[in-house]
A and B are shown apart, each in its own frame.
Chain A
Amino acid sequence: MGDLQVELVAADRTVWSGSASMVIARTVEGDVGVLRGHAPMLSLLTEATVEISEVDGPVVVAAVDAGFLSVAGDRVSILSEYAVLAQDIKIDEAKAELDAAHGLPTSDERELRIRRAEARIRAAEKAS
């Protein structure tokens, strides 16, 4: 018997690590849920929220940028250049960022910033 060992890692620090019963993340193909005994998998994440259900505990919500999800032998690592836990997100700042992004001329950069800000807002709302 064991739980999932989850590591949420940003480029410059480990954001969260511990054991969990379930991880939900959004890959480029769609949402994926990982439970114990999941087949080894390596997939690309999009800018979205990640939910980690701690064992007998609350759900940890985080916003991540594009990155990876790797699952192997009940170890789940979520790698992203930027990752923030929902409680560290300032929702006003994220909303301001979203407004600023909407004001940009249409470009990939604009899309990226909108997706990023939306992910942060969603994460913050989910957690509250």
Chain B
Amino acid sequence: MALSLREYRARIKSTESMKKITRAMELIAASRIIKAQQRAQAAAPYARELTRAVSAVATFSNVDHPLTREEDDPKRAAVLVVTSDRGLAGAYSSSALKEAERLAEKLRAEGKEIDWYICGRKGEAYFRFRQRPVVQSWTGFSDQPSYDVAAEVGRALIESFLKEQGEDGDVDEVHVVYTRFRSMLLQEPTAVRLLPLEVIEGDQAPETHEVLPLYEFEPSAEAVLDGLLPQYVQSRIFFSLLQAAASELASRQKAMKSATDNADELIKKYTRIANQARQSGITQEISEIVGGVNALADANSAND
């Protein structure tokens, strides 16, 4: 109880204004999540149709395309890490980075070298601070990614994947680490292999009665595949970016909510201490007055 009453009052005030800020951020994040989820839903039809088309081609033609071809002896892997641009989102970026490090560890154990590709300022800063080389990074869109960005990222990754082994900047595998949005409460960092593509027939198994029709391909199955696969890759990246954006906002909301709660606690604690200080001040004054009166009375009776 070393501080005076006034100092406690000042602390309460500053905690209160901090609480207002975190509360505002919490509300903003909450409203943005809804938008992010709507964007993810709006992008779903494209991904669904694209997946259908890819599995249609895969079913009716012998898939042999540079993007699906496994390298015999993979030496380099590209890892794309999706992090946020801004902080104050709890452990969001650091758990994505931790997942990326785990993946890197695994890939190194398999004897592959790693080329890093980064999305988001937090990831960029992490690598710059450790002075580790990054091949390319993109920033400035983490809470509302556009398809253009996804297409750009996709093009860069496909380009380096398609280079011949031994060529400068060639990679034999492409992995993506992003944070999957499970629910408002649960977001988990996930690592997936993007390239070479494994063509799986849809995310959900098609209904049994839904038999894929015998498509005619124009101009040819190969040409259609040539056009389809890069777009498929880009749409997968877009999907990861959208998921990551929703996760970022959700964890920011969570972090800001607990900050607000903590501020509440602090205010309560400080108010109690301040009251105690005020009370003890009053008690002291009273006992001083009573003591003074007593002393006066004693002096008076001694005089009589």
Interface residues, chain A, with chain B CB atoms under 8 Å away:
7, 9-14, 27-29, 32, 39-44, 66-68, 70, 72-73, 77, 79, 81
Contact = CB atoms under 8 A, between A and B. Distances in A.
A40 B219 contact: no
Contact of A29 (B57, B147, B218, B235): B218
Given A68-B228, A72-B213, A81-B231, A43 B46 contact: no
Interface in B206-220: 212-219
Given A42-B215, A43-B218, A73-B213, 15 more contacts: A9-B45, A11-B151, A11-B235, A12-B39, A12-B42, A12-B146, A14-B42, A28-B218, A40-B215, A42-B224, A44-B224, A67-B231, A68-B228, A79-B50, A81-B234
A76 B180 CA distance: 31
B147 A81 contact: yes
Interface in B148-170: 150-151
8 contacts: A11-B147, A14-B45, A40-B213, A42-B215, A43-B219, A70-B52, A79-B231, A81-B147
A66 B56 contact: no
Contact of B49 (A29, A39, A70): A70
Interface of B: 39, 42-43, 45-46, 49-50, 52-53, 56-57, 146-147, 150-151, 212-219, 223-224, 227-228, 231, 234-235, 238
B49 A79 contact: yes
Contact of A70 (B53, B146, B147): B53
Nearest to A73: B213
A41 B216 contact: yes
Contacts of B214: 40
Interface of A is mostly: strand
Interface of B is mostly: helix
B43 A43 contact: no
A72 B215 contact: yes
B216 A42 contact: yes
A81 B212 CA distance: 24
A53 to B, nearest CB: 21
B244 to A, nearest CB: 15
Contacts of B218: 27-29, 32, 41-44
A43 B39 contact: no
Nearest to A68: B53
Contacts of B56: 42, 70
B238 to A, nearest CB: 6
Contacts of B235: 11
Contact of A79 (B39, B42, B53, B223): B53
Contacts of B223: 28, 44
Contacts of A81: 147, 151, 231, 234
B57 A42 contact: yes
A69 B27 CA distance: 42
A122 B42 CA distance: 27
Contacts of A10: 46, 147
A12 B43 contact: yes
Contacts of A27: 218
